[in-house]
Structure 1
Amino acid sequence: MEEENQQQPSDESKFIKIKKFPFIMGVFLLIFVTAGITTAAFVFGDEKVQSIAPAVSNQREEFNKLYSTYDTIKKQYYKDVDDNILINGAINGMLESLDDPYSDYMNEEEAQSFHQSISSSFEGIGAEIQEQNSRIMVVSPIKGSPAEKAGIRPNDIILSVDGKSLEGMSSSEAVLLIRGKKGTKVELLISRGTDSDPIKVSIVRDTIPIETVYPEMLKNGVAKIQVTSFSENTSKELSDALEEMQKQGMKGLILDLRGNPGGLLEQAIDISSMFVPNGKIVMQMEDREGKKQVSKSRNDGELKLPTVVLIDKGSASASEIVAAAVKESAGIQLIGEKSFGKGTVQTAEDFEDGSNFKYTAAKWLTPDGNWIHKKGIEPDIKVALPAYANLPYISPDHELKVSSTSSEVKAAEEMLSALGYKPGKIDGFYDESTQKAVSTFQKDHKLKVSGTIKGDTTMNMMEELRKKIVNNDTQVKKAEQVLNEQIK
């Protein structure tokens, strides 16, 4: 999900000068606009820095306590301590003291994992995560990924990985536990909201390709194009998709940015430029001194047809840049739910030993100068998905049967009800009515009729619910309604 950007910088984006990523030792400047270093962090650009770090003089008084502590540990601690452990710990401590989930130190192993992610694919579960309040939170699963298929959702909290607690870990440390070779299984303990007990989710890792644009023609000439992230080829993919939809008679467009955790800044600017008139502001960058650098649309001819954009709580960072740009500079309506709210830019630097660190270097602002960090972007038309779209995951490894009582039983009852079966009173108690509904479901789907929920039955129930959510997508239906009125 991470890709290097080879595009040249515009006059308005000198702050984020982009070059092809050089695989050499040294220090590089990487600009990020994702929700954080995750299983899928995105590189905005890089630029070789002339030195690893400025030489620190022993004469600087602010370092006296640091040197004194180091010397004391080296001379008087009850056993020898490796210099690298102390130095890396000091760096990590400085970054942690910033109390910023986007500033982080990565040791050699973590940094290596990070660099391996800068490619067209990676192996893992396919979910963007970030550290928040000492917990690891899911920003969004990738479309079609094992994480999405397993029912992982934005804002899920990952409590543990294969029994190892993630409390207090950085996102980089969590990534090393979550990612792994294709075909291997990982078990996550997930907390979702405050009304349900933690649930175990078993996921088989797979290769996660970076396919970012998914076009389809709906009814009455309305096309829906989903953009799942902003990778190095996304703007071209979108351009090709638009051309394909136009050949099929597209009269209106739904640009779907739901669940899009971000990506390459240059791609966000390029895609915004497809909709924002030439010369109008797309976004602004503000440094610590309050100085702003403006990026404007590089449009050679904007798309002139009715358009709406879908957003939700999984729309973060670069996707928020696009959403804000089309809303404020092109008057395009946003439909759905409030976005994630990530309005900062990170810089990452590599050390010669292979480790690196990243820190927040700037804010990005909307065309009107709004900072959406921790606030998100409110849609013009608020539309929620049906309540059953937010039902918790049920582990296929757990057997639910008569007399079982749990939050998973209640979720199963709600799923059965949403799918048109009658489980009786929805109370979390597996009674004879629940058993009868399950048996009917199994018969209808040519499964072994056991009256219990486990394995294939669990997976089939969740898959059928997913299809129902897609077929009854209230946000898409509202977008179609708005466009049909404009097309008329």
Structure 2
Amino acid sequence: MYFKGRTVFTFVLMTMIASVLVTLTMADQWLKPREEKGSAAVAAAAAGDGSEYRLNKDELSKLNAVIELIETKYYEDVDRDELLDGAISGMMEALDDPYSVYMEEEVAQHFSESIEGSFTGIGAEVTTENGKIIVVSPIKGSPAEHAGLLARDELVSVNGVSLDGLSLQEAVAKIRGPKGTKAKLVVKRSGFAEPIQVVLIRDDIDVETVYGTLRPDGIGVIEIRQFSLNTAKRFKEELKKLEGQGIKGLVLDVRNNPGGVLPVVIEISQLMMKEGSTVVQVEDRNGNREKTLAKGGEQKPYPIAVLTNKGSASASEILAGALQEAAGATVIGEQSFGKGTVQVSYNKALGDGSLVKMTIAKWLTPNGNWIHEKGIKPDIVVEPPDIYTVARLNLKETLKPDSLSEQVRSAQIMLHGLGYEPKREDGYFGEETADAVKKFQSEHRLPVTGEIDGKTAQTLEQAVIKWIQNKENDTQLLEAVKAVGRK
């Protein structure tokens, strides 16, 4: 699929539907070259008719008995196709692996679009952990990011409907809706005693997977937002352009990048690695490892840093691990998400437009480290300021002096980050907080009341977003620029 210039993606539903992390997903047809060179067991299976894996007479009789009971005894009519879909979903759920799922035709179509680089959603990658819906990463520029969703947030409910115990597909279905409608999410966040509410407006978002910029100091920065099918091509274009301008160093920013397609991240990684060095290792169920070696690349003459955070997952972690261990790059920021498995999407085997996405292997770094549920450890740890992670304000009533709440605490963190000094960030609305609010209101031409009403809250949040978008306030990026500059 060819993309010219900037690509318009639509974020109307929850991204990835039931696929969770699109990271390290390969369509089944992409595996044919490897299958031809596979193990004897794979070859034998390919040569046979697969009958040894099919249901035997007793197993088939048991399933038929249940279907017959449902269709003849259940108190309501049941759609036979729904029963079949449910049976397949149940088998996948029995694997107890959030990355192995069955997708019905419509969901499978959205998933295929996501691999091609066209998403539908509010802009947040999610997964399941112990029956909870957990945010992996809000995608940059999306409604999720603008509303303040963060990696590791737990989604409790949407528009008053609880998500507890739902499968990923079921939870995402609750969040779908037409463009322009609201999704009111209740979120549990580490460090906050009470759940917070995040309001998202489903909308079209203009997104590009790769952005390259040359800083005045000669440092090139390439931001990779996801690894879709066009990303390697766009990365090569941006890298060539920056190198043509004589960059002194390169920063690769994969913060809040939830991953993508395995061959794509390999293609990008090897561009910056010495030919013959290990990019990644893949280990199958029997412990057999296959190394992917860099081809046609070169060790770059300039220093490289990779920026990660808690929302950097899977393919992003392959890039960071490969360059850290085999190309001398410096990883800077926060420990990454920690997804170390590979999925294959079998979109032809079922024959009706549905597909099965299943974990088939682990991936390991060049040195053989499995980062699953651990993440890539940065060489230089740089935590973001509190203003980056503060819960957005959602006022039901005006915040007034001598009150105590999580909303007040959020406002205090915002005021402090913007340079107004409330003197405390414990949620108590004291005299110093009121003075800070008055100063903010005065400088933003608001009625100077010392109270936080809806208009003040809205203006405060807009100021926070503007502050965050200013690259000069990005302490992680500045540290990465400094690191490559020193080298």
TM bracket, shorter-chain basis: 0.7 to 0.9
1:329 aligns with 2:329: no
Matches within 5 A, 1:441-456: 441-456=440-455
Are 2:201 and 1:200 aligned?
A: no
Q: Which moved more, 1:270-279 or 1:217-226?
A: 217-226
Matched letter for residue 313 of structure 1 = K
The equivalent residue for 1:415 is: 414
Q: In structure 2, what is the equivalent of residue 137 of structure 1?
A: 134
Return the match for 2:108 from 99, 111, 116: 111
CA distance, structure 2, for counterparts of residue 161 and residue 408 of structure 1: 20
Q: Deviations over 1:340-365 (max 9, x none)?
A: 11111112334344433322111112
Judge which range, 54-63 or 71-80, deviates more. 54-63
Quote how far apart the aligned CAs of 1:232 are: 1.9
Residues 227 and 383 of structure 1: is their aligned pair in 2 closer, same or farther, counting only changes over 3 Å? Answer: same
Worse-superposed segment, 192-201 or 258-267: 192-201
Displacement of 1:456: 4.5
CA separation of 1:77 and 1:181: change in aligned 2, threshold 3 A: closer
SS for the counterpart of 2:19 is: coil
Q: Any idea what SS the aligned residue of 1:358 has?
A: strand
Note if 1:181 corresponds to 2:178: yes
List aligned pairs for 1:121-136, cutoff 5 A: 121-136=118-133
Q: In structure 2, do the counterparts of structure 1 residues 296 and 396 end up closer, same or farther at CA, with 3 Å as the change threshold?
A: farther
The SS at the match of 1:309 is strand
Distance 1:235 1:303, change over 3 A: farther
> Which of 267, 270, 283 is the equivalent residue of 2:267?
270
Contact 1:121–1:207 (CA under 8 A) maintained in structure 2: no
Distance 1:61 1:361 in 2: 28
Q: Would the alpha carbon gap of residues 454 and 333 (structure 1) be closer, same or farther in structure 2, given more than 3 Å must change?
A: same
Q: Equivalents in 2 of 1:188, 1:102: separation in Å?
A: 23
Provide closer, same or farther for how the CA distance between residues 291 and 154 of structure 1 changes in structure 2, counting only shifts above 3 A. same
The C-alpha deviation readout for 1:388-418, integer Å capped at 9, x for no partner, is 3322222266643345431111111122122
- Residue 23 of structure 2 contacts residue 313 of structure 2 at CA under 8 Å; is this kept in 1? no
Task: Name the structure 1 match of 2:317.
Answer: 320
Q: Which moved more, 1:177-186 or 1:89-98?
A: 177-186
Q: Residue by residue, what CA displacement relative to the aligned partner does 1:76-118 show, whole Å, maximum 9, x if unpaired?
A: 3344433223322222222111111111223344334434545
1:37 aligns with 2:38: no
- 2: CA distance, partners of 1:125 / 1:81: 33
Q: Which residue of 2 aligns with 1:85?
A: 82
Letter in 2 for 1:37: S
Change (3 A) 1:116 1:379: closer
What SS class does the counterpart of residue 253 from structure 1 fall into? strand
In the other structure, the counterpart of 1:289 is: 286
Q: Name the amino acid aligned to 1:474.
A: T
Between 1:239-248 and 1:289-298, the stretch displaced more is: 239-248
Paired letter, 2:130? N
| 1:457 match | 456
Give the letter aligned to residue 61 of structure 1.
D
Aligned partners of 1:226, 1:319: CA distance in 2, in Å? Answer: 11
Closer, same or farther in 2 for the Cα pair 1:40/1:200, shift >3 Å? farther
Instruction: Return the alpha-carbon distance in structure 2 between the equivalents of residues 349 and 300 of structure 1.
Output: 31
Q: Distance in 2 between matches of 1:262 and 1:456?
A: 38
Name the CA distance, whole Å, in 2 between partners of 1:69 and 1:473: 59
Task: List structure 1 runs of 4+ shifted beyond 6 angstroms.
Answer: 39-42, 53-58
Structure 1: stretches of 5+ with no match in the other structure: 6-33
Q: Is 2:148–2:389's contact at 8 Å kept on the other side of the alignment?
A: no
- Does structure 2 conserve the Cα–Cα contact (< 8 Å) formed by 1:4 and 1:43? no
1:160 equivalent in structure 2: 157
Unmatched 5+ residue regions in structure 2? 4-15, 33-45
Q: Percent identity?
A: 44
Query: Matches of 1:296 and 1:57 in 2, distance apart?
Result: 37
> Which residue number corresponds to residue 357 of structure 1?
356
- Contact 1:210 1:231 survives alignment (8 Å): no
Please tell me whether the aligned partners of residues 110 and 176 of structure 1 are also in contact (alpha carbons under 8 angstroms). no
More moved, 476-485 vs 69-78: 69-78
Say if 2:17 and 2:111, in contact at 8 Å, map to a contact too: no
Partner residue of 1:435?
434
Provide the residue aligned with 2:95 in structure 1. Answer: 98
Distance 1:120 1:56, change over 3 A: closer
Q: Residues 227 and 264 of structure 2 are in contact (CA less than 8 Å); yes or no, is this contact kept in structure 1? A: yes
Give the one of 220, 232, 242 matched to 2:217.
220
Answer with 173-182 or 113-122: which moved more. Answer: 113-122
What is the root-mean-square deviation in Å for CA atoms of aligned residues? 3.1
Cα distance in structure 2, aligned partners of 1:419 and 1:267: 39
Comparing 359-368 with 166-175, greater Cα deviation is found at 166-175
Task: Evaluate the alpha carbon distance shift between residue 39 and residue 401 of structure 1 in structure 2; reply closer, same or farther with a 3 A threshold.
Answer: farther
Q: 1:70 to 1:179 in 2, by over 3 A?
A: closer
Q: Are residues 146 and 42 of structure 1, via their aligned partners in 2, closer, same or farther at CA, if it must alter by over 3 Å? A: farther
| Aligned-residue offset at 1:65 | 4.0
1:107 and 1:454, CA in 2 relative to 1: closer, same or farther beyond 3 A?
farther
| Contact 2:2/2:230 (8 A) holds in 1 | no
* Aligned residue pairs, count: 456
Deviation, 1:231, is: 1.8
Cα 1:398–1:377 change in 2 (3 A) is farther
How far apart are the structure 2 equivalents of 1:386 and 1:116? 35
TM-score normalised by length of structure 2: 0.84
Contact 1:146/1:204 (8 A) holds in 2:
yes
Question: How do residues 36-55 of structure 1 correspond to structure 2 at under 5 angstroms?
Answer: 37-38=19-20, 44-47=26-29
Q: Which residue of 2 aligns with 1:474?
A: 475
- Structure 2 letter corresponding to 1:382: V
Q: Which amino acid aligns with 2:484?
A: L
Structure 2 CA distance for aligned equivalents of residues 429 and 286 of structure 1? 53
User: How many Å separate the matches in 2 of 1:394 and 1:111?
Assistant: 36
Higher helix share: 2
Q: Distance in 1 between matches of 2:146 and 2:56?
A: 57
Matched, 1:74 2:71: yes
Whether the 8 Å CA contact 2:269–2:322 is kept in 1: the answer is: yes
Q: 2:41 aligns to what?
A: none
